[in-house]
A and B are shown apart, each in its own frame.
Chain A
Amino acid sequence: MATTSAPTPTKVPAPAKAPGREERDQREFGWNVMVWNDPITLMSYVVLVLRRLFGYDHATATRLMLQVHNEGRAVVATQPREQAEVSVAQLHSFGLQATLGRP
């Protein structure tokens, strides 16, 4: 007779910890649209593009443009990834140097 032994409990790997809400929000919505300085593009043109694409008033767009000029780059928007990619593509279509990435 075959002996039976008490069943060995199967070791089940602990489920991966579900990302918390903050982490999900960061992943989904926290993509920075960054504009980089370049020596050719006119300051007034950058201000115009930021106003047209993001709806900023003149003062805000000018502040962001000056940040790009003085510091080399500026985050001009934080958006969900797909929207951020569209924004970057629009900035590229205007000839600006732009990237998107997580903070």
Chain B
Amino acid sequence: MAQVLRRRGRIQVKVNRSEREALIGIIDSLSPRLAAPLATAPRAYDDAKLQAEYDRWVRPDIEKGREVDLTMVRDALSGGEDTLPLTEAQTLVWLRAFNHLRVAAGEILGIEGDGWEDTATEATKQKPEYGVLIALGYLQEELVAALDS
């Protein structure tokens, strides 16, 4: 499994070729899902008129940012390096990108409530999206710990 290290104030992700390919595959498979409006896309307002304004003026930037996050991570993984140094800003990009992917995976699995790790059936656990949730969750925890250390 990929490792996240913090050395001399720099964060490094150690990720071998097969792990990089797997992560790129996750991005490629879930990106189309993220490009479409997610059923779970968060609302900002209860008021319909204010929400419409938000959707018109603010949401496009959020969606563009999500696309940029995923592209940046994909580009870093495509560079052929086993060790990827990250600045704090880049680490936040990775964290956001992994969260976008986990939200998409969760939506595909139909997860609606807490405790899904305990109640998942064996059939659910065999689905690739379940693996995405677990693997990217692990990497997110490692990145958060690296930022906090």
Contact = CB atoms under 8 A, between A and B. Distances in A.
B62 A93 contact: yes
B99 A37 contact: no
B98 to A, nearest CB: 9
Interface in A43-80: 44-45, 47-48, 52, 58, 69
Contacts of A40: 99, 102-103, 106, 111, 133
A95 B98 CA distance: 10
A8 B114 CA distance: 72
Interface in B47-96: 54, 58-59, 61-62, 65-66, 92, 95-96
Contacts, number: 78
A99 to B, nearest CB: 6
Contacts of B45: 99-101
B95 A48 contact: yes
Nearest to A35: B42
A41 interface: yes
User: What is the size category of the interface that chain B forms with chain A?
Assistant: 35 or more
Given A39-B106, A44-B144, A94 B96 contact: yes
A85 B58 contact: yes
Contacts of B144: 42, 44-45, 47-48
Given A89-B44, A89-B61, 8 more contacts: A39-B115, A45-B144, A94-B96, A95-B99, A96-B42, A97-B42, A99-B42, A99-B44
Interface of B: 40, 42-46, 54, 58-59, 61-62, 65-66, 92, 95-96, 99-100, 102-103, 106, 111-116, 133, 137, 140-141, 144-145, 147-148
Interface of A: 36-42, 44-45, 47-48, 52, 58, 69, 85, 88-89, 91-101
30 contacts: A36-B42, A38-B40, A38-B103, A39-B112, A39-B114, A40-B106, A41-B103, A42-B137, A44-B140, A44-B141, A45-B99, A45-B144, A47-B144, A48-B148, A52-B92, A69-B114, A85-B44, A88-B44, A92-B59, A93-B65, A93-B66, A93-B96, A95-B99, A95-B103, A99-B43, A99-B45, A99-B46, A100-B44, A100-B45, A101-B46
